[in-house]
């Protein structure tokens, strides 16, 4: 395909995650480690779920496409459940590590808060899940070919990129909300996160009926963004402060320049 497709899809899928990484994670080695460890936990969950799927696939009839598709769908849901289990496991690990960090640091508190760890862990999950979904497709865009020549949809690449972006953002928000729910022992929050993850994966099963999958997923993303914002301590007051401060700052700049 063309370089435009490659760069376009790459930036759509990875742009926000990459810029989040550069601006918030890259400078702090502790956050980098938490990010990579989050990616590792996601990889572990993927490994286990694909092991289960592989065994099931080998044990069943390889010719029967219906059974295979059914097994694949089962694999998808099992993988989602396992991801959430590993997210919880990672939460427990980070809590323990937090206590250790607080013990060895000079001040009495840990250098990183649970909300920050939740964000970084979510970003780790998001980046690695996006990478695994998208990178092979991206490398195919650099090669020759015609999209949808056998009758499939022509919008394969762009919808993949959009879906990957949605999943990445969703993983971040789910991370924040999940950890917050665990901290405050609100188990219904965790149940809702798991259900939403299952719902999003279920919606992706509607592909290639993209009208059925992409808009609902993005609606869920926006809702999760709002929820995560409020769960991490944001409020409408903070938002208004942000805007007035920005306006004040801009006004100051203008005055300064004029003088």
Partner 1 sequence: MVVVVATIKSVSFYTQKDGQQLIYTPFREDTETVGQRALNSILNATIMISVIVVMTLVLVLLYKYRCYKVIHAWLFFSSLLLLFFFSFIYLGEVFKTYNVAMDYFTLAVIIWNFGVVGMICIHWKGPLRLQQAYLIMISALMALVFIKYLPEWTAWLILAVISVYDLLAVLCPKGPLRILVETAQERNEPMFPGLIYSSTMVWLVGMADNGETRNNSSSSSSSPPPQQESHGDFALEDDGGFTNEWVGQQEQRLGPIQSTDESRREIQQMASARPPPPDDDEERGVKLGLGDFIFYSMLVGKASATASGDWNTTLACFVAILIGLCLTLLLLAIFKKALPALPISITFGLVFYFATDNLVRPFMDQLANHQFYI
Residues binding partner 1 (CB under 8 A)? 29-30, 32-33, 36-37, 39-40, 43, 46-47, 49-51, 53-54, 57, 69, 72-73, 75-76, 79-80, 83, 101, 104-106, 111, 128-129, 131-133, 135-137, 139, 156, 159-160, 163-164, 167, 200-201, 204-205, 207-208
- Min dist. Cβ of residue 22 to partner 1 (A): 16
193: number of Cβ within 10 Å: 22
Contact 105, 111 (CB under 8 A): yes
Which residue number, 6 or 229, has a Cβ lying nearer to partner 1? 6
CA distance 163 to 154: 15
- Min dist. Cβ of residue 89 to partner 1 (A): 14
- Min dist. Cβ of residue 117 to partner 1 (A): 13
- Min dist. Cβ of residue 191 to partner 1 (A): 19
HEC string for 88-117 = HHHHHHHHHHHHHHHHHCCCCCCCCCHHHH
CA distance 230 to 143: 44
- Min dist. Cβ of residue 229 to partner 1 (A): 24
Which residue number, 49 or 232, has a Cβ lying nearer to partner 1? 49
CA distance 105 to 111: 7
* Residues shown for the chain: 259
Which residue number, 104 or 236, has a Cβ lying nearer to partner 1? 104
Which residue number, 66 or 237, has a Cβ lying nearer to partner 1? 66
CA distance 151 to 90: 43
- Min dist. Cβ of residue 259 to partner 1 (A): 35
The tally of CA atoms less than 13 A away on the side-chain side of residue 12 is 17
- Token reading at 179: 């950890």
What are the DSSP calls for 202-246, one per residue? Answer: HHHTTTT-HHHHHHHHHHHHHHHHHHHHHHTT--HHHHHHHHHHH
CA distance 165 to 12: 7
Which residue number, 167 or 176, has a Cβ lying nearer to partner 1? 167
- Min dist. Cβ of residue 124 to partner 1 (A): 10
Which residue number, 60 or 244, has a Cβ lying nearer to partner 1? 60
Which residue number, 74 or 229, has a Cβ lying nearer to partner 1? 74
């Amino acid at each position: 395909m063309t370089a435009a497709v490659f760069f376009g899809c790459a930036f759509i899928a990875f742009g926000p995650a990459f810029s989040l990484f550069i601006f918030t994670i890259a400078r702090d080695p502790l956050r980098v480690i938490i990010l990579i460890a989050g990616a590792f936990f996601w990889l572990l969950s993927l490994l286990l779920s694909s092991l289960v799927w592989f065994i099931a696939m080998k044990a069943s009839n390889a010719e029967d496409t219906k059974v295979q598709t059914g097994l694949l769908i089962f694999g998808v849901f099992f993988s989602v459940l396992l991801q959430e289990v590993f997210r919880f496991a990672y939460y427990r690990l980070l809590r323990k590590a937090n206590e250790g960090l607080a013990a060895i640091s000079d001040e009495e508190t840990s250098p990183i808060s649970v909300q920050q760890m939740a964000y970084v862990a979510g970003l780790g999950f998001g980046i690695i899940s996006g990478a695994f979904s998208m990178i092979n497709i991206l490398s195919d865009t650099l090669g020759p070919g015609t999209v949808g020549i056998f009758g499939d949809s022509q919008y394969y690449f762009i919808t993949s990129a959009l879906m990957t972006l949605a999943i990445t953002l969703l993983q971040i928000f789910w991370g924040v909300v999940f950890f917050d729910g665990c901290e405050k022992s609100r188990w219904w929050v965790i149940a809702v996160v798991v259900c939403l993850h299952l719902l999003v994966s279920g919606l992706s099963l509607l592909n290639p009926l993209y009208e059925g999958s992409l808009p609902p997923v993005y609606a869920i993303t926006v809702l999760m963004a709002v929820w995560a914002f409020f769960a991490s301590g944001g409020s409408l007051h903070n938002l208004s402060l942000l805007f007035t401060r920005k306006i004040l700052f801009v006004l100051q700049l203008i005055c300064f320049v004029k003088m």
